[in-house]
Amino acid sequence: MPGTSTALAITVCICTFRRPTGLRRLLSGLSRQTFVDVPVPAITVIVADNEGSPDNRRICDEFRQAQFHTLVYVHEPRRGISHARN
């Protein structure tokens, strides 16, 4: 279609509960993604923490400051995957 943008935008949603090591490993892997033959997309990562762990918040802050495009940290106090996903 004429006048439409072909720029890519990717949003990754991560639900976590008491897994700071896994969260760090996942964010590290996402930060190393490479794109061949396409422009680097606008990447947004949303972390929904079902625990409210200071460790998870600190990890997100580290990645946000170091290299991530856009990282949003959200604490969802209601336990359960359905609450974290919504």
Residue 3 has pLDDT above 90, yes or no: no
What does the pLDDT read at residue 4?
A: 52
**Predicted confidence (pLDDT) per residue in 58-81, tens digit:** 999 999 887 767 999 998 877 777
Least-confidence region, from 8-12, 17-21, 39-43? 39-43
Using a 10 angstrom Cβ sphere, with 0-12 exposed, 13-18 middle and 19 or more buried, the burial of residue 84 is buried
Q: What pTM was estimated for this model as a whole?
A: 0.81
Residue 32 DSSP class: T
User: Domain coordinates of the chain in residue numbers?
Assistant: 9-32+39-85
Report CA-CA distances (Å) from 44 to 8, 10, 30: 11, 6, 11
